Amino acid sequence: MKKIKLNDGNEMPLISFGTYQITDLELCEKAVLNALEVGYRAIDTAQSYFNEEAIGNALEKTNVAREEIFLTTKIWVTNYNSNKTTESFYNSLKKLKTNYVDLVLVHQPFGYYREALSALLKLKELGHIKSIGISNFYDDKLADLCLFNDSDFIPAINQIEINPFFQREKTIENNMKYGVKPMAWAPFAEGKNDIFNNLILKEIANKHNKSVAQVVLRWLYEKDIPFITKSINIERMKENISIFDFSLSNEDKEQIKSLDKGVSQFFNHNDINGVEMLFELVKKRGEIK
């Protein structure tokens, strides 16, 4: 599995197995064990996925050594401040049944995320975290965080939406300018715009005797962008990491480029409607009043 080097010197696999929306703990545990069995060596979870316990159970049962697994979790927005961030991290560590996490992200660019990052830096000094990153930070907040801070901290990763319908060339360029590695979540746009039946992607897939999913992941791979892919089906898991025996032509890439709509397929974190939608989600969960 190809690895990429982060700005702190640590390395992570280019492909991560995602666990978003796998809330059934037994199903999640089985999926992670299967993913590790077929060759995944990076697992992505979050406090807000409510499945860290299942990840921990899988880590405890797998024959793959812990040091061979790159583990990512994320601090949820309602746990942003020095004390809550530290407390919630230790709670996550307990659920994950490990004494360190390879990568910890602040999950949303709202609230007291600077306090959360400060707390994570202290936890890193204690050896509980290897790398620290961010998620869903648009260009303005990324620049603000990197330029206006009282330390030398630069996030290792910015986990953001990237898919054929929202390709974000300028955002990728801006992240790289500051030494931050962009990482793609939802590379298939969660099936939006009927992506798996898209005529352009199907034509490219047929030409290479591959699936649409493999074409999309190969597209990211050739951009050197790490990504998260998820399936509870073991055959799909195998398919999603079988992308190393073909290459996209320049014509293929130009055709994929034509699919870019230039807007999020979910919601814009930099728009008032997006902020209010996330706030209502948090409020509905009872996490704030």
User: Which pair of structure tokens corresponds to residue 133?
Assistant: 């990153």
The one catalytic residue among 49, 80, 138, 221: 49
Please tell me what DSSP assigns to residue 271.
S
Is 178 a residue of the active site?
no
- Residues 133-153: tens digit of each pLDDT: 999 999 999 999 999 987 889
Q: Which fold would CATH assign to domain 3-284?
A: TIM Barrel (3.20.20)
Instruction: Compute the distance between CA of residue 162 and CA of residue 183 in angstroms, rounded to an integer.
Output: 8
Dihedral sign (CA 22, 24, 29, 35): negative
- How many CA within 13 A on the CB side of residue 199? 1
| In the chain, where the domains are located | 3-284
Q: Output the pTM of the full model.
A: 0.95
pLDDT of amino acid 70: 98
pLDDT of amino acid 151: 80
pLDDT of amino acid 289: 57
| DSSP code per residue over 175-204 | HHHTTPEEEEE-TTGGGGGGGGG-HHHHHH
Asked if residue 208 belongs to a known ligand binding site, the reply is no
pLDDT of amino acid 30: 98
pLDDT of amino acid 279: 87
Q: Is 46 exposed, middle or buried (0-12, 13-18, 19+ CB in 10 A)?
A: buried
pLDDT of amino acid 284: 82
Query: β-strands 181-185, 157-161: how paired?
Result: parallel
Reading the chain (289 residues) residue by residue, the pLDDT tens digits are: 789 999 999 999 999 999 999 999 999 999 999 999 999 999 999 999 999 999 999 999 999 999 999 999 999 999 998 899 999 999 999 999 999 999 999 999 999 999 999 999 999 999 999 999 999 999 999 999 999 987 889 999 999 999 999 999 999 999 999 999 999 999 999 999 999 999 999 999 999 999 999 999 999 999 999 999 999 999 999 999 999 999 999 999 999 999 999 999 998 888 898 888 888 888 887 776 5
